[in-house]
Structure 1
Amino acid sequence: MEIVFIRHGQGEHTLDLPKSLHTPDPALTEEGIIQAKTLKNHFPLSQSDVIIVSPIRRTLQTARIWSEGIKCQKIVSPLVSPRMFPQNPEWQTLPCDEILTKELIKDDFNDFYLEEELSNEWWLKGINKLPEKEFKVIAEGFLEWCKHIGNKRIYIVSHDGTITSYRQLITGRKLSRNDFPKETGFLKVNL
Structure 2
Amino acid sequence: MELIFIRHGQGEHTLDLPASLQLMDPGLTKDGVSQAKSLQTQFTLAESDIVIVSPIRRTLQTAYIWSNDINCKKIVSPLVSPRMFPQNPKWKTLPCDRILNKKVIKGAYPTFTIDEGLPEELWSSGINTMPEQEFNVLAESFLEWCRSQSVERIYVVSHDGTITSYRQFISGKRLTRKDFPKETGWFKQLC
1:11-160 maps to which residues of 2 (within 5 A)?
11-160=11-160
Is the CA contact (8 Å cut-off) linking 2:49 and 2:152 kept in structure 1?
Answer: no
Distance 2:134 2:67 in 1: 32
Distance 2:93 2:57 in 1: 16
Is the CA contact (8 Å cut-off) linking 2:82 and 2:127 kept in structure 1?
Answer: yes
Aligned partner letter, 1:56: I
Distance 1:146 1:119 in 2: 18
- Gaps (5+ residues) in structure 1? none
Offset at 1:82?
0.1
Match of 2:189 in 1: 189
Aligned partner letter, 1:160: D
Aligned pair count reads 191
Match of 1:8 in 2: 8
Offset at 1:49?
1.0
Distance 2:169 2:53 in 1: 19
Offset at 1:124?
0.7
Distance 1:47 1:142 in 2: 21
Aligned partner letter, 2:4: V
Deviations 1:109-153 (A, max 9, x none): 111000001111111110000100110001000100111121121
Distance 1:153 1:182 in 2: 21
Offset at 1:36?
0.1
Aligned partner letter, 1:10: Q
RMSD: 0.5
> Any idea what SS the aligned residue of 2:189 has?
strand
Distance 2:85 2:110 in 1: 31
Offset at 1:190?
1.0
> Any idea what SS the aligned residue of 2:134 has?
helix
Distance 1:41 1:152 in 2: 18
Aligned partner letter, 2:110: N
> Any idea what SS the aligned residue of 1:124 has?
helix
Aligned partner letter, 1:82: P
- Gaps (5+ residues) in structure 2? none
TM-score calculated relative to the size of structure 2: 0.99
